[in-house]
Structure 1
Amino acid sequence: MTPRSREAAVRAEVDGVSAVRAVPGPVIDVRPEGDRAVVRVRGDLDLDAAGPLEQGLRTALGSSVDGVDLDLSGVGFCDCSALNVLIAARHRALAEGKTMELRASAPTVDRVLDLTGTRSLLAGPDGATEWGGDGEALRELRVEVVQLRRAMQTRPVIDLARGILMASFGLGSEEAWRVLVTASQYANTKLHHLAQDIVSTAEGGEPREQLRDQLAAAVARVRAEST
């Protein structure tokens, strides 16, 4: 079942008032919890879900005093378009003097965060680094800026590579993402590096035999897992 064929809702509870609006995408529950807002997501987070996810996070930030806690344990699929929304919301929270922290996540979310090196951006108190003065704060800020830029820059090439795989092998969106993840593990390389190789090959570059073998093995594995 594709994201467009599902009906979902964004439910926001602000000051005890609950509102439900039908939108395409996952189910996103926003509820207050003290000075913070909790955002719980169930379903798939892909390109079609970017709009509802952004709306839910904006609602949560606007209704909170200190920031937002994320519960992504119910996410069945997550790609770089959703990661882009999360990072943009994190940046917006910081600009408002708030925080956005990941409290629970599904393995699908963990893979994206680990492959892109952005997990620390959403770390809660247990994973956060204490800032020990102006010099340490500046170093932490520089690291965050680099991670933000990397995630924003790598998203287009990863999405393009996924589209190439979908067209080349007749895969669905989720299957193409799983092929990318699996092939990157076979190659022991970052996801965006593998994606760039795929795009370069599609644009007329000489395909590496090793890349062909890794993609073929990944496609075979994903198809076998889907049957």
Structure 2
Amino acid sequence: MNFEKARFNMVEQQIRTWEVLDPDVLDLLMTVKREEFVPEHARALAFADVEIPIGCGQVMLKPVIEGKVLQALQLNRADSVLEIGTGSGFFAALLAARTEWVRSIEIEPELVRLASANLSRNKVDNVIVEEGDGVQGWASRAPYDVIVVSGGLPFLPQALLEQLKVGGRLFAFVGEAPVMKARLVTCEAEGRFRTEDIFETVVPMLKHAPRRETFRF
């Protein structure tokens, strides 16, 4: 398989057509080698417009979704990033290529090992992968300039919002099937947030995602 040609086609035929036009984002997706983070048996699908299973009920998101998220976040070199849901480590590698450092939290030990090995092999040295439940964030290292939640949440826990710096951005997939909102939240001032829904999609839920309390009579 000609990976370079497939990568070029992914960027030009999938990602651009989803109105991902930021040249820095397109360059990033051309540079970070997606095939290095895909399970060996699925490498032929590395650049396809599909979710790729990686074990433990989790998937690599479609390339177009990764592009949309990166474009919305407007990453800066000095940003500190919290990622919740490491998966294969690919999105952490994308984040790390444009920011100072990334702390990525993964609840599944098998995926912690997978992501750590993938990142090490590809010489990504500004990502710290930690095993744990990040559904309420990772307060011990807060606040952050950027928080990315790579799985679904029925709603955004207040604890996550409180871990953003002023000017910080949070991206999460909020709601439940059949439709989730890909949501960007910006902290405009202490305790004040601006919310923008970028697109609609469906992604696997985070393990231990919180549920709203319901009243029973």
Work out which structure has the larger RCO, using CA pairs closer than 8 Å and 6 or more positions apart in sequence.
2
More strand by share: 2
Q: Bigger radius of gyration, 1 or 2? A: 1
TM-score (norm 1): 0.27
TM-score (norm 2): 0.28
